[in-house]
Amino acid sequence: MHRTFMILAVFLMLTGMDLPQDPPVPVPKPEQSTETPESKVRSPAMREQASPDQSPGPLPDISAPADSETGLASCEAELRKLGVTYERLEPLSGENGCGINTPYAVTKIASSVVLRPATQLRCETALALAQWVGTVVIPATSALPGDVSLNAINHGSAYVCRRRNNRATGKLSEHSIGNAIDIVNYEFAGRKPLGISPRSGDGNFEEAFQRAVRAGGCLHFTTVLGPGANASHDNHLHLDIAKRNHGYRLCQ
């Protein structure tokens, strides 16, 4: 082997060629990004933060369903059966169709469950809420460890004339006509309060309770939005009774 190398070296010298002095250095590859295509797309919250100078335009129009005295009497009868404490209020009126023809203030959403703060809701919305509490939330509470009972439900907003998700543009929210309520936490006797928050993967009773009442909400409301639907719903459960074609329900 040594003799062969020597012969090759002499040959190269005679032909005027140079032996390589150092082995070639490999060119480093560019660092591979761990960013996925999905992570390159900015979230709605990021897009909103990126344009803080965006000024609100004029409010669009929204139409509130008409309430008949016959329908209201039937609704009130159902509320009483469910142990709801309520008061019929004077009509509310706002811009571009915002308002409630016959708003209701609900102080107890079940015989032993307080609803706070003060509410201004359509009777149909209050009835859906009472049915959800009675058939879903209270039974789910009984499955929590220990001797636990539901005392109160706190909300973040009921009637308010604004756009969806508090954005500067877009359609008016169902809150604008008393069709929606945002639940922020539950208070119990026998355990600490339970607030709405992203709990996916926690694997505990708190996550199980939140999943159960959220899923059960779709049986009584046509819209249920909570943590994971988008960033604006990470701290509350949005419930509304919007009417859609073919009875479609949006549960996210």
Per residue in 203-248, pLDDT (tens digit) is 999 999 999 999 999 999 999 999 998 888 999 999 999 999 999 9
Residue 22 C-alpha from the chain's centroid: 63
Domain of residue 88, residue span: 69-251
* Cβ neighbours of residue 103 closer than 8 Å, sequence gap 6 or more: 88, 89, 90, 91, 92, 120, 121, 122, 159, 178
Q: How far apart are CA 71 and CA 123, in angstroms?
A: 9
Q: Which pLDDT band holds residue 192 (cuts at 50, 70, 90)?
A: very high
b/e for 130-162, b at 16 or more Cβ within 10 A?
Answer: bbbbbebbbebbeebeeebebebbbbbbbbbbb
In a domain? residue 33 = no
- Give pLDDT, residue 103: 97
Question: Is the distance from CB of 44 to CB of 231 less than 8 angstroms?
Answer: yes
Rounded distance between C-alpha atoms, residue 79 and residue 237, angstroms: 22
pLDDT at 165: 78
Residue 1, pLDDT score: 46
Amino acid letter for position 201:
G
Residue 56, pLDDT score = 59
Residue 226 within any structural domain of the chain? yes
- Between 15-29, 131-145, 160-174, the lowest mean confidence (pLDDT) is in 15-29
In a domain, 208, yes or no: yes
The pLDDT value given to residue 57: 63
In a domain, 58, yes or no: no
Count of structural domains within the chain: 1
Residue 170 has pLDDT above 80, yes or no: no
Percent share of the chain, pLDDT over 70: 76
Q: What is the mean pLDDT of residues 118-140?
A: 97
- Domain-embedded: residue 17: no
Q: In the predicted model, what is the mean pLDDT of the chain?
A: 81
Residues 26-66 pLDDT 10s: 444 333 323 332 333 233 333 333 334 455 566 677 777 78
Q: Is residue 209 part of a domain?
A: yes
Q: Is residue 205 part of a domain?
A: yes
Transcribe the chain into DSSP letters: -HHHHHHHHHHHHHTTPPPPSSPPPPPPPPPPP---TGGGSPPHHHHHHT-TTPPP-------PPP--HHHHHHHHHHHHHTT-EEEE---EE-GGG-EESS-EEEEEEETTEEEES---B-HHHHHHHHHHIIIIIHHHHHTSSSS-EEEEEEEEESS---BGGG-SSSPBPGGGGT-EEEEEEEEEESS--EE----TT--SHHHHHHHHHHHHHTTT-SEEE-TTT-GGGTT-EEEE----GGG--EE-
Instruction: Pick the more confident residue, 133 or 164.
Output: 133
In a domain, 210, yes or no: yes
